[in-house]
Amino acid sequence: SQPSVKLSSGYSLPLVGLGTWKSAKGEVGAAVASALRAGYRHIDCARIYGNEHEVGEALAAVLAEGVVRREEVFITSKLWNSDHDPARVEAACKQTMADLRVSYLDLYLIHWPVTGNTGPEVLPRLEDTWAAMEKLVDAGLVRTIGVSNFSVPKLERLMAGARIPPAVNQVEAHPYWRNEALRAWCEARGVHLTAYSPLGSPDSAAITKRPEDTPTPLKDALVGQVAAQLVRSPAQILIRWAVQRGTSVLPKSVNADRIRSNLDVMDWEIPADLFQQLSAIPHQARMVDGSFWVNPQGPYVTIHDLWDGE
Ligand code: A2P
């Protein structure tokens, strides 16, 4: 079994999971199969990625081969913004479960604290969406619930009225966007932090409309130096750094060799002095800055509103 962290729900989440955002149809199924055969026990999915049907096909095939049992694989998915209406939550979850061909999800997250972003209509409040998420646990559809892309103030607001606290906050984190204040707050409050885009998401530049030459931690000089010194790849340094700071981590790849090597981060460590240096890189900038949710009609009129200044 893979090293894992115990969540506030009582379930264990394997520290390294396969990311599937941007994994193309026709490629994602093979990636999932490679990952499970290589020993991954955690697959991170979302309805909006548009590929859950193919992920489900691959999962079913690998399970049928007897490579792993369903209970040994941790499957996450996420509720999309257009399904925040409490009346839509269960159907959205069931659609994802049907696509993934599973009878339960290990983890279901509110994907963004964004309840639609066009028009002045009255939108459901995050608290009400959360209550519908809690009902999924009651109904046995989902074992653990959490959120993604939530700031401290938004988590506080949600947790104030929650019957079941969010066990996970999945956010962007890597040496160029450490998100340290949020990580520390979450740790103190028993919310596990999962790092997405741990390699700096080099393949999302077009989607996030950032320049192709945006500096990326994969090409960082210090990361390269540490990799050379430890005889590891830059990606392995970044993934190991995430694990070593107590987060779980979701490297995305559709290449079987990279999938395999991205999991090989458990039986070695980054020495403390180098870890400190990686944790002090001054350049800090989000790759996925959420600017696509900023809208003059709200609910987030500025980028500050979305991230609450974090
Ligand atoms: P590919 O899917 O062709 O392997 P992130 O997880 O931060 O979103 O980054 C994903 C990007 O990093 C993808 O473009 C992926 O390409 C690439 N990638 C994944 N693993 C590695 C690796 N070990 N070395 C270099 N690039 C990698």
ipTM (interface pTM): 0.99
Q: What is the pLDDT of residues 73-98, one digit of tens each?
A: 999 999 999 999 999 999 999 999 99
111 is in an annotated binding site: yes
Is residue 236 lining ligand 1, measured as CB closer than 6 Å?
Answer: no
Q: What is the mean pLDDT of residues 121-136?
A: 90
Is residue 198 lining ligand 1, measured as CB closer than 6 Å?
Answer: yes
How far is residue 165's CA from residue 169's CA, in Å, rounded to a whole number? 11
Cβ neighbourhood burial of 258 (10 Å; 0-12, 13-18, 19+)? middle
Ligand 1 centre to CA of 223 (Å) is 15
Cβ atoms of residues 214 and 177 within 8 Å = no
Q: Is 49 designated active site? A: yes
Q: What is the pLDDT of residues 131-141, one digit of tens each?
A: 999 999 999 99
Q: Report DSSP letters for 33-78, one per residue.
A: HHHHHHT--EEE--GGGS-HHHHHHHHHHHHHHTSS-GGGSEEEEE
Q: How far is CA 112 from the centre of its chain?
A: 11
Per-residue pLDDT at 290 exceeds 60: yes
Confidence of residue 295 (pLDDT cuts 50, 70, 90): confident
Q: Which of 40, 49, 196, 300 is catalytic?
A: 49
Is residue 20 lining ligand 1, measured as CB closer than 6 Å?
Answer: no
Cβ atoms of residues 32 and 43 within 8 Å = yes
Question: And the tokens for 167?
Answer: 């066990």
Residue whose CB lies within 8 A of the most ligand 1 atoms, among 194, 237, 255, 262, for a mutation test: 255
Cβ neighbourhood burial of 204 (10 Å; 0-12, 13-18, 19+)? middle
Model pTM score: 0.97
User: In the chain, what percentage of residues exceed pLDDT 90?
Assistant: 89
Is residue 202 lining ligand 1, measured as CB closer than 6 Å?
Answer: yes
Ligand 1 centre to CA of 237 (Å) is 13
User: Which of 55-59, 82-86, 143-147 bottoms out in mean pLDDT, i.e. has the lowest?
Assistant: 82-86
Residue 251: is the preceding peptide bond cis (ω within 30°)? no
| First-last CA distance in the chain | 35
User: Residue 268: phi, psi to the nearest 5?
Assistant: -155, 165
Is residue 29 lining ligand 1, measured as CB closer than 6 Å?
Answer: no
Q: What is the pLDDT of residues 156-189, one digit of tens each?
A: 999 999 999 999 999 999 999 999 999 999 999 9
Per-residue pLDDT at 116 exceeds 80: no
Q: Strands, DSSP E only, in the chain?
A: 4-6, 12-14, 18-19, 42-44, 74-79, 105-110, 142-148, 168-172, 192-196, 248-249
